[in-house]
Structure 1
Amino acid sequence: MKFFKSYFSILGLLLLTGCVGNMNPTGGNSSPNYPYFITAEPLEVKKIMVPKGTKLVYEEQFFKEGKQDKMLSEEKLITIEFPTGQPIIWGGVPVTSINKFFNSEMHGFTVYADFEKLSADKKTKFSQLWQSCSNDLGITVKNIGDWSFNTENISDVDDCSVLYQRYFKNNKRQQDFLDEIYSEMLKVGSK
């Protein structure tokens, strides 16, 4: 037992000081140079009307890096970043970006809100619950080709930041909160 304590203490120290080497497969702190396209006019992407200047980021692809001259396939889209200062309204809430879930087995995306742009007269129980836990909300959907606020396509609220996760099925408090925010979301969609 003493050996394992010493071993893990040394390993921890090496990791903290960086002596074990970089475990990031892309090298250093860099991220892949994902292909992206900046829209030159308003258009529909994933059933959302996006404004001119929206950045569409795609999965890594052979021979495609950085800025592209034309849009790539929507099936490869992983992020929609709206122009600074021009959030779109999603569920009555101004959002700055939408990111497809990293786990390909999960059909959904994360929506990032800008609550500073939400006026008091536009607040709903849904937006207040969302804001109470974070600015990011994970949504599961039936059709991954639709990122709009279509409550007929939205099957659940998967998470609200790291505070509330469907993953923790045995945590009643987390599940109750996610059930409530999903229920309030459906009410907004029915108006």
Structure 2
Amino acid sequence: MKKRNYINIGILAFVALLVIGGIIVFDGLSSMGNPNGSSAPDYPYFVTTEPVTVKKLALPKGTKLIYEEQFFREGQQDRIMNEKKLTGIELPKGKMIDWGGVPVYMITKFFNPEMKGFSAGADFGQLNDDKKTKFSEMWQSCGGELGVLIKNSDDWTFNTKNIVDISDCSVTYQRFFKEDLQQQNFLDRLLGELKKVGQSQTK
């Protein structure tokens, strides 16, 4: 009788170990790819069901609007949320907005709250040769996103009166490295070309 009890206890202990081990493995797999070891927040977002204007940008139907992490709000929402909480715009596949003569598919607010601005992602494959400018060519040469500092956070358009400076052009040129004259000179020239495009658009 005692032998049977020992066997039963052993089987139960083995099953418990399997269950605990499975939970640990599953938790580990679910957090893979996250540097903090935990699953990433499921930020609230809304996919537009009709053309809308957000941050003074005219956006098409199907645009994904991503917002800050909020209590009791995660994943897809059934209605548009407060524009003040917006952190990103993703255009539907194949759709672009004209930003300074450059086809842009994504705009993301700077993560650092001390920096008032955003990064814009361009698809230069959608830019016709006859529409290229010195500004677009310099931006394309960086091979990445363009970061701009702005005065008014409610305006993400190509409004050169609102654009204070260019903070970065991909990882290649960063305003942060003040002592690197090559980087500073490139960003200064790029900002100058950006302003020229703005002037030509207002004529």
The two structures have a TM-score, normalised by structure 2, of 0.81
Q: CA RMSD in A?
A: 1.7
Cα separation, partners in 2 of 1:26 and 1:48, compared to 1, 3 Å = farther
Q: CA deviation at 1:32?
A: 1.4
Instruction: Tell me the amino acid that sits aligned with residue 180 of structure 1.
Output: R
- How far apart are the structure 2 equivalents of 1:179 and 1:154? 13
Looking at secondary structure, tell me which structure has more helix per residue: 2
How high is the sequence identity, in percent, across the aligned residues? 57
1:165 pairs with 2:155: no
Q: Are positions 1:120 and 2:146 aligned together?
A: no
Point out the structure with max Rg over C-alpha: 2
User: 5+ residue gaps in structure 1?
Assistant: 1-21
Q: How does 1:29-108 map to 2 (within 5 A)?
A: 30-108=39-117
CA-CA distance at 1:34 after TM superposition: 0.4
1:130-188 residue CA offsets vs partner (Å, 9 max, x unmatched): 00012300000001110000000000110001110000001000000000000000000
Task: State the Cα distance separating 1:43 from its structure 2 match.
Answer: 1.0
Aligned position for 1:24: 35
Structure 1 stretches of 4+ moved >4 Å = none
| Residues in 1 aligned to 2:130 and 2:40: alpha-carbon distance in whole angstroms | 40
- 146, 152, 163: which one pairs with 1:143? 152
Instruction: Report the Cα offset of residue 26 of structure 1.
Output: 6.1
Following superposition, the deviation at residue 31 of structure 1 comes to 2.4
Partner Cα separation in structure 1 for residue 150 and residue 131 of structure 2: 25
Number of equivalenced pairs:
170
Task: Quote the residue 1:134 is aligned against.
Answer: 143
